[in-house]
Amino acid sequence: MKKITTAVACFSTIASISAQDKKPNVLLILADDLGYNDLGYQGSKHIKTPHLDKLAAQSVRFTDAHVTSPVCSPSRAGLMTGRYQQRFGHEGNCPRRPDGMDVNEKTMAQALKKQGYKTALFGKWHLGDEKHQYPNVRGFDEFWGLREGSRNYFFNKKSDLKKDNPKAIEHNGKAVEWSGHLTDRLTDKTIEYIDANKENPFFIFLSYTAPHGPLQSAKEDLKALGTKDNYAGLVYGMDRNIGRVIKNLEDNKLMDNTIIWFLSDNGGTVKQASNLPLGGKKGTEFEGGHRVPMLMYWKGKVPAGKDYDELVSSMDIYATSVKAAGGTLKQERPLDGKDLTPFINNEAKGIPHKALYFRKLECASLRYGDWKMIRVDKLGYGLYDLKKDIGENKNLAKEMPEKLAEMKAMLKKWEQDKMKPLWSEGVKWEKVRHKDHKIKFETGVLPGFN
């Protein structure tokens, strides 16, 4: 009898070791400038996104998820490092050469590589154009995409093969020729990589440029959606391509062991986009700037079709993924993100973040539970009770001086160990932001966006 027990015990130990050894693949899909409302499952009436809707039904849907900045580059710096990018001065957008993300920061790709992962970036980088900032030296084995923040969706021989053009599509440092629509090609590269690495744990950062401008949709997507709206076509095309990636994971029998993240890097900004019911837009500190749709799929490890309503951050993606890969979250430059898995499964006490902080040059804000405070230099404060006023229409700063003082003090305390920004965006954009915040503080309505 004793012998049998031992045999069973041995077998179960082996089985459990082999399950532990199978590290989950991580697929991080990032949309660019996607409006909060512009997905089927988020409430869009005219943009159809059947593949993301289906994924959402199988995932944890975060209803109060935030990126760390309302614009592209600093948002990606927070995502890639799992840290507030204000710790390393990365506040302004579009760093001009030679500026870029601090190379002493560790990226999520580097951390996963250390766990034995094959790593690839397909698409937009936007964290520096110089050689020492290049994705291949920042943790990615493979890079097929653009260094910069935006580009045309179609190949142009004249500009794309010009020497050292950071908007060109490059493969590991060399500009390449390609054809068709960029969203399709980024997806092809992702599928090829999955096919080639199905035996390895892999980390793929699929960083679409869609639906960021220029609004150049594939004709077939406009036709399929029955619209002339190129923004809607870009979202639809991205969804169609996400469907292709998921089909490939299914065909390779990898859906049981792949974590899929989906989110946008910031809110919508073009007039065709909708951030409803949120107020504000890309570039502003209102919720429409930095609150984004976010999904986490991990079969059997997190619930399918669950809404998680606490505050979470894009910084948590690094921590959650590295922990899932068997890595440690202790590092020389400490993470601000948290491992979300135990919170989602009610295995951890409390909530991941009591407060989240945002600062971009002269604008800053703070989420503290359902409260939101915004500070704009040379303008003043906005204070909103999101429980009653999700659109940030009624500024309570004058009516509630005690709440304002409490949150001002919290923001000030958070700022104590943050750096001064290393670069700015210039006077022109400062004026635009000042005007946008002023109008909404005073009237509650930002024309065209709520």
- Under the rule (CB under 5 A), what is the footprint of Ca ion? 32-33, 72, 265-266
Q: Which is nearer to Ca ion, 72 or 242 (CB)?
A: 72
Minimum gap (Å) between residue 71 Cβ and Ca ion: 6
Three-class DSSP category at 419: coil
Nearest one of 66, 79, 448 to 273, comparing CA atoms: 448
Q: Which is nearer to Ca ion, 67 or 191 (CB)?
A: 67
CA distance 150 to 266: 14
Q: In degrees, to the nearest 5, what angle opens at C-alpha 127 toward C-alphas 175 and 137?
A: 65
Q: Which is nearer to Ca ion, 72 or 127 (CB)?
A: 72
Q: Which is nearer to Ca ion, 108 or 246 (CB)?
A: 108
Minimum gap (Å) between residue 265 Cβ and Ca ion: 4
Minimum gap (Å) between residue 395 Cβ and Ca ion: 27
DSSP 97: T
Which one of 66, 90, 126, 181 is the catalytic residue?
126
Q: Which is nearer to Ca ion, 33 or 436 (CB)?
A: 33
Do 278 and 34 contact (CB within 8 A), yes or no?
no
Radius of gyration, alpha carbons of the chain: 22
Residue type, 287: E
Minimum gap (Å) between residue 332 Cβ and Ca ion: 29
DSSP 86: G
With tokens 């992702």, the residue in question is 190
Minimum gap (Å) between residue 74 Cβ and Ca ion: 10
CA distance 34 to 144: 22
Minimum gap (Å) between residue 73 Cβ and Ca ion: 9
Q: In degrees, to the nearest 5, what angle opens at C-alpha 414 toward C-alphas 61 and 285?
A: 55
- CB burial of 315-344 (b: ≥16 within 10 Å; e: otherwise) equals bbbbbbbbbbbebebeeeeebbbbbbbebb
How many CB atoms within 10 Å of residue 390? 18
Three-class DSSP category at 172: coil
Residue nearest to Ca ion (CB): 72
Whether 363 sits among the annotated catalytic residues: the reply is no
Q: Which is nearer to Ca ion, 126 or 367 (CB)?
A: 126
CA distance 430 to 419: 19
Residue type, 316: D
DSSP 128: B
Q: Which is nearer to Ca ion, 123 or 352 (CB)?
A: 123
Q: In degrees, to the nearest 5, what angle opens at C-alpha 95 toward C-alphas 379 and 71?
A: 55
- Six token digits for residue 185: 């090609």
Which one of 51, 72, 212, 437 is the catalytic residue?
72
Minimum gap (Å) between residue 227 Cβ and Ca ion: 22
So which residues are the catalytic ones? 72, 126
